Homo-oligomer: A and B are copies of this chain.
Amino acid sequence: MTETALVHAHPEPPQVEVARNSESLDDEDNTLRPSFIRRVTEALDADDQETVYNLVEPLHPADVADLFELIGPDYRVDLARAINDLLGSEVIAELNDYVRDDLVEDLDPDEVAELAGDMETDDAVALIQDLDEEDQQAVLAEMEPEDRAAIESALAYPEDSAGRMMSRDVIAVPEHLSVGDLIDFLREDQDLATEFWEVFIVDHKHHPVGTCALSWILRTPRSIALADVMKRDQTLIPVTMDQEEVALRFQKYALISAAVVDESGRLVGQITVDDVVHIIQEEASEDILRLSGAGDGDINEPIHLTVRTRLSWLVVNLGTAILASSVVGMFQGAIAKLALLAVLMPIVSGMGGNAGTQTLAVVVRALATNQLTSSNTIRMILREFRIALANGTTLGLMIGGGTALLFQNPLLGTVIGAAMVINNLVAGLAGILVPVTLDRLNVDPAVSSAVFVTTATDVMGFFSFLGLAVLSGLA
């Protein structure tokens, strides 16, 4: 993308930004202080745009983005109007998706096109991909042909793929160059990517053959050939690879940047670690939020969308709760005879649910981070079984002994103790078998596992306890 070059051949002194570490704006968590937010909202209430501008001006773009998220929806348009030219592409790129869409909604296609033109390709794609087809076309039509081509080619790749994330700006040079040639080339060419951390060496077919960290180039005499200093082993990212796998690769091999190659092995772009950091955060957060049925759990999401997401999950759970309660319904006669059974039964089902959730959380994370693979699945199932047996036995003895003593009823104690052991085993096995099976079926285990596991522990908790109570002649 065309971008203001950070360094010119004769650079001007860079602009001084000072606010970031200033104690007056940020608190110890590096977030904007409530007192600062209050000053901004008070100035907005007073329609004092100049004060707002002066308050916001020293902020880093990432902090301006935070400010938009923190002040609340009612102030956002006024704030945007007040700070005017401070709301540049760098701020927009840092904004939460929902907040950004809210602000961008009111802009004309040519204004969006101008913002997108100032951004890195991946940020511009993020800005444009959420627009509807018609608006997308209108914006693209207003863009420079080169930027437009870059965005269109990114949009041609699947969502969340390496092709969407990558930057097309990449330094690729032939093998025969010397270190000196390369440095001269970098000094001369003003259109190069402004952010790069390594140089990729390619053959005549544009296939990557090696890579050279900038620190190596700086430390090697000019006369040495790149072929002698480059690292031949490198991690290549296929352009269609899912972003989650890209992130795992960066993490595993401690990469700063990596070459992206198309189907024929040609270098088509690079991914840098700063984009990957967001994805690791997102993907790990997603697992918690999905496990609990909170969708993408974005606190800036419009409330009706949040309600819809959470409600659909709750309705599914209502179905499983009704299923479990119908198991209790089978034992109404026993409960009428001995109401104590109804008092104790939630303990068995609830503890199963807790144990199942523990296993589920461990397994979902291990699957997501490639620690649980087909090589060690059997070993891990046995591991969970042993843990469930140990925990179930301990809890069974505790609750069984306690019940026997408290109600002077050894048979009731035995029944609840045995049910506790059974349900812990159900919890442990469901907690690993459900997500592993879903993963094999290419269903995200974080999304749907919890329903199955909770159903299993509720149903089996009630059934084992009430069933044993009837079988043993308790009621």
Contact = CB atoms under 8 A, between A and B. Distances in A.
B373 A70 contact: yes
A383 B195 contact: no
B369 A281 contact: yes
A322 interface: yes
Interface stretch (A43-51, A127-135, A140-148, A226-234): A226-234
Interface centre among A192, A248, A273, by most chain B C-beta atoms within 10 angstroms, is A273
Contact of A383 (B281, B299, B350): B299
A311 to B, nearest CB: 5
A119 B369 CA distance: 24
Contacts of A311: 390-391, 394-395
Contact of A351 (B13, B16, B321): B321
Nearest to A297: B362
The 3 closest A-B pairs by CB, nearest first: A284-B284, A342-B342, A292-B361
Interface of A: 6-7, 9-11, 13-18, 20-21, 27, 29-34, 37, 60, 62, 66, 69-72, 183, 186-187, 192, 194-197, 213-221, 224, 228-233, 235-236, 245, 248-256, 273-274, 276-278, 280-281, 284-285, 287-289, 291-294, 297, 299, 303, 306-307, 310-311, 313-315, 317-318, 321-322, 324-326, 328-329, 332-333, 335-336, 339-347, 349-351, 353-355, 357-362, 364-366, 369-376, 379-380, 383, 386-387, 390-391, 394-395, 398-399, 454, 458, 462
A346 B324 contact: yes
Nearest to A341: B342
B383 A303 contact: yes
A197 B220 contact: no
Q: Is the interface of A mostly helix, strand, loop or mixed?
A: helix
Interface centre among A256, A306, A343, A454, by most chain B C-beta atoms within 10 angstroms, is A343
B256 A274 contact: yes
Given A11-B224, A72-B376, 20 more contacts: A11-B229, A17-B233, A18-B233, A20-B253, A21-B235, A31-B373, A60-B233, A187-B221, A256-B274, A281-B284, A287-B288, A292-B361, A297-B361, A299-B366, A299-B380, A311-B394, A311-B395, A321-B350, A335-B343, A342-B345
A294 B342 contact: no
State the copy count for this chain.
2
Nearest to A40: B375
Nearest to A227: B13
29 contacts: A21-B235, A30-B245, A30-B370, A60-B233, A69-B371, A70-B376, A71-B375, A186-B215, A196-B215, A250-B277, A254-B277, A255-B274, A256-B273, A273-B274, A277-B277, A280-B281, A292-B358, A297-B361, A310-B358, A313-B358, A314-B358, A318-B347, A322-B347, A328-B343, A328-B346, A329-B340, A332-B342, A345-B346, A346-B346
Contacts of A7: 215-216, 219-220, 229
Contacts of A183: 218
A359 B399 CA distance: 30
Contacts of A359: 294
Contacts of A196: 215
